[in-house]
Chains A and B, each alone.
Chain A
Amino acid sequence: MVLNAEAVVAALLLGTMALLVWLLVRPPLPHQRASVAVSLVGFIGLPALCIWAGTSVQLENSQRTDFCLSCHVMDDFGASMELDDPTLLVAPHFQNHWVDQTRACYECHTSYTMYGGIRAKWNGVKHLWVNYIGTVPDPIQLYGDYRNGDCLRCHAQARGYLDSGFHEDLSAELEQDQTSCLDCHGPAHAIDQLGQTARWPHPMVSGGSE
């Protein structure tokens, strides 16, 4: 039997809550030391474990495509992944499973360096702040230039990339971000084609989830 991580976390939360309720209504224990030990486990140890486990599950959820698209300001960017045009950049990546469809935004917008994941989470918290408290810029822009490393981590040793002599000539510039992949392969999301190009609806974008 394979245990689902979310079910385990839910069981941990329910068990901890049941223990807390029991600790609140139980008669006093005869020994002071035993009482303190049980209190430390019930009121400090297990809740700390619950915070860690619950937060971990939610952080995993925050990598999902439908999480990113749950803010309406991202609607156009989600829709651009459904554009039915194989010459575009983002849409074929999403539609052909070149990236994991369930976490498509995270796959391309997280730098896979030592602190890439932490930076992505921090930027995500800033996004939440701007979305609910601040003013969302129009049009939405990245915090900085898109890093070639986020393309090259998949493409660098791929045959299609290596067979192109053009990439070989530019390899040093590409690795040092002096020339952007998007200079030739952009625009990334092709928002301006929305309404002009047919769509290939996908449940992860157009509603529902996989």
Chain B
Amino acid sequence: MNRSRRSAACFILIGLMIILATFRIATAPGFISMLVGAAATFGGMVWFSVDLILRD
């Protein structure tokens, strides 16, 4: 796996960790953390997809 895809995978992994850490916290900061985690995961997914389409 090339370095670009590894970076994208790390983004996804970090995003999922944030979602897991905050998804049961019923407060406004918990909700914001969830949005940040979802955005990081989604960003990593897009990055990975673009890399996959462009290189393969």
Residues on A lying within 8 angstroms of B by beta carbon are 6, 9-10, 13-14, 16-17, 20-21, 23-24, 28, 32, 36, 39-40, 43-44, 47-48, 50-51, 54-55, 57-58, 61-62, 64, 66-67, 70-71, 128, 131-132, 209
Contact = CB atoms under 8 A, between A and B. Distances in A.
B26 A62 contact: yes
9 nearest A-B pairs in the assembled complex, by CB-CB distance = A70-B27, A61-B26, A54-B19, A58-B34, A13-B20, A67-B26, A43-B48, A54-B23, A51-B38
16 contacts: A6-B23, A13-B19, A20-B9, A47-B12, A47-B41, A51-B38, A54-B19, A54-B23, A54-B34, A57-B24, A58-B30, A61-B25, A61-B30, A64-B26, A67-B31, A128-B32
Q: From DSSP, what is the main secondary structure of chain B's interface residues?
A: helix
Given A23-B9, A51-B38, A55-B34, A67 B48 contact: no
Contacts of B52: 36, 39-40
B1 interface: yes
Interface residues of B, number: 34
Nearest to A48: B45
A47 B20 contact: no
Contacts of B4: none
Contacts of A71: 28
Contacts of B26: 61-62, 64, 66-67, 70, 209
Given A54-B37, A58-B34, A17 B24 contact: no
Interface string B1-41: 10001101100110111011011111111111010011001
A87 to B, nearest CB: 32
A13 B20 CA distance: 7
Given A36-B52, A39-B52, A47 B16 contact: yes
Contact of A67 (B15, B28, B32): B28
A185 to B, nearest CB: 30
A62 B26 CA distance: 6
A14 B24 contact: no
A51 B20 contact: no
Nearest to A69: B27
B17 A44 contact: no
